[in-house]
Structure 1
C-alpha cells in the first residue's frame, strides 16, 4: 500500500505521535468523538498537551477511488491546502497540521486531515436555536462582517453552514471566527448574487436574515432592500431544495425501513 503524508513544518515535531494515531483505531484512542457516521471526527490529546482534531474521511466509492488518485485532490488534501490559503489571507481556521492518504492498487483507499483544536465558545448553529444568548445580535453582526471579509479576500466557502464556523469570544463585543470542514471552496472574484447567495444555508429565521442583510449592506454600501430580498430568496430556495431532497430520499428508500422493521420483528 502506498502512503502520502504531508505535514506543516511548524508541527513536524508532532509527526510520529500523530502518525501513530492515524495508524490505529481513532475511536478507541480518542478523548472524545465530535462526529461519527459518514465521516469520523475525533479529538486527541498528545503527550505534550497539544489537542488535535482528526477527520477520517469515509472510503470513497469506486469512481472516486480512481478519481482521487488521478484526476482530483482528495478531501483531506484540499482541507489542508485550503486551510493554508485561508491563513495566508488572515482568515481564521484551526491550524493545519498534516494530511495523510492511503492508496491501494486501484486508487485512494482512505484519507485523514489533522488540525489543531480550537476551544470555541459556540458555533453559528447555537445562534439558530438559542435566541436568549445575551450578545446574540452582536455575534450575528460580527459574523456578517467576517463573511464580508471572506468575500473581499475572494473566498467563496461553499459549505458556509451553521456547524462550520467556530466562534470565540474576546470580550467587548469582539469575536474571532474559525472555518472548519474546508474541502469545498472556490477562490476568485464574486459578484453580488454569488456573495449574497453565500448566506443561504445559514438559517431559516427571517429576523436573522434581516439583521445579516442590514449589516452586509452597511459593509458593502449596497441597497439594503436588494440585499435582503436576494438573501431571503436564496434562503427559501435552499430550504425548499433541501427538504424536497429529504422527501425524495424517504420515498425512494422507504423499503430500507420496512426491511429493518421486518428483521427486528423476526422471531429468529
Structure 2
C-alpha cells in the first residue's frame, strides 16, 4: 500500500477498503473487468475507489514480476506528470495491491472525487446552438495537452470531465489516466486522439478548427485527419457495439 502523505490520517481506514469493496460504497461504474465505487471517509472526504481486475495469462506474469507497471500503479504515478505540466486530474490518495505469493490479484487506486458535473457523453445528441463555445474551448484545451506532451490514449467520453468556473470559463479534468503517453505528440497522433469521442460532424469540425489554430496547423488538413480517424474507429466499433445516438462519419 502507498498513500499520499496528506491522507496519512486515513491509512487504517483506507487499508480496509478491499475487504469492504464488494458490500459497501456507492456504485459508479462496473464493467466486465474494472469497477469504481464512491466512499465517504470518516473525516468526510469523498473518494473514488477503482478496482482493477486480476490479470490473466501472460499479463499475470508481466504485471506480477515488474515487466510492466500494473494499471493502478500507473494511475497512481501519472498525476504528478499532469500537474507538472499545468493540467488537472483528481488528486491521488492511495494505491493498493493484493497478492497471492508473488502473483498480482486485485489492485486498487483511490483518488478524490472530481467536483466537475459534466462529461463528453452529453454531446452525442447535442443540438446546434448548444455546443459552439464548448468546441472552441475544448479544441484549445486538447491542443495545450498535446503541446505539453500529454496524450491520453483513452480519450473517450467518460474520461474527460468538464464544468465552468466562477468566471464562466470552461475547465477540464482527465480521469482514468493509466493509459497515458508522455512525450511529443505528432499532428497525426493528435488528430487521431479525437476518434473515440461522441458528437455530430459539425461538433468535430468546429473542434478541429480550434485545435488546428491553437497548434498552428492547416485547418482543412486537420479536419480531414480527424474525420478519417473517426471513420476508421467507429466503422470498426459499430460492428460489435451499439450507441444511443446517430454516428455521423
TM over 0.5: yes
- Say if 2:235 is the partner of 1:240: yes
Aligned mates of 1:52, 1:135 — CA distance in 2: 32
Counterpart for residue 68 of structure 2 = 72
Matches within 5 A, 1:82-121: 82-121=78-117
Aligned mates of 2:55, 2:125 — CA distance in 1: 33
Deviation at 1:27?
4.0
Which ranges of structure 2 fall in alignment gaps of 5 or more residues? 243-249
Moved more, 72-81 or 96-105: 96-105
Aligned mates of 2:190, 2:103 — CA distance in 1: 36
- Say if 2:173 is the partner of 1:182: no
SS at 2:170's partner residue?
strand
Deviations 1:157-201 (A, max 9, x none): 100011101112114440221111111111111211111111111
Q: CA RMSD in A?
A: 1.8
Residues 79 and 135 of structure 1: CA distance in aligned 2, closer, same or farther (over 3 Å): same
- Say if 2:147 is the partner of 1:149: no
- Say if 2:80 is the partner of 1:55: no
The one of the two structures with greater contact order (alpha-carbon pairs below 8 A, sep at least 6) is 2
Counterpart for residue 34 of structure 2 = 39
Residues 56 and 101 of structure 1: CA distance in aligned 2, closer, same or farther (over 3 Å): same
Deviation at 1:106?
4.9
Which ranges of structure 1 fall in alignment gaps of 5 or more residues? 248-268
Aligned mates of 1:238, 1:64 — CA distance in 2: 25
Counterpart for residue 136 of structure 1 = 131
1:27/1:33 contact within 8 Å kept: no
Deviations 1:66-123 (A, max 9, x none): 1101211101001111122112212110001111111112511110000000122210
1:157/1:186 contact within 8 Å kept: yes
- Say if 2:187 is the partner of 1:196: no
Deviation at 1:131?
3.1
Aligned mates of 2:180, 2:93 — CA distance in 1: 19
SS at 2:178's partner residue?
coil
SS at 2:38's partner residue?
strand
Aligned mates of 2:237, 2:29 — CA distance in 1: 21
Counterpart for residue 247 of structure 2 = none
Aligned mates of 1:110, 1:6 — CA distance in 2: 15
The answer to which structure has the higher helix fraction is: 1
Given the two structures, how large is their TM-score scaled by the length of structure 2? 0.90
Counterpart for residue 259 of structure 1 = none
Aligned mates of 2:93, 2:185 — CA distance in 1: 30
Deviation at 1:246?
4.8
Deviations 1:198-222 (A, max 9, x none): 1111125211111111111221221
Aligned mates of 2:98, 2:84 — CA distance in 1: 28
SS at 2:105's partner residue?
strand
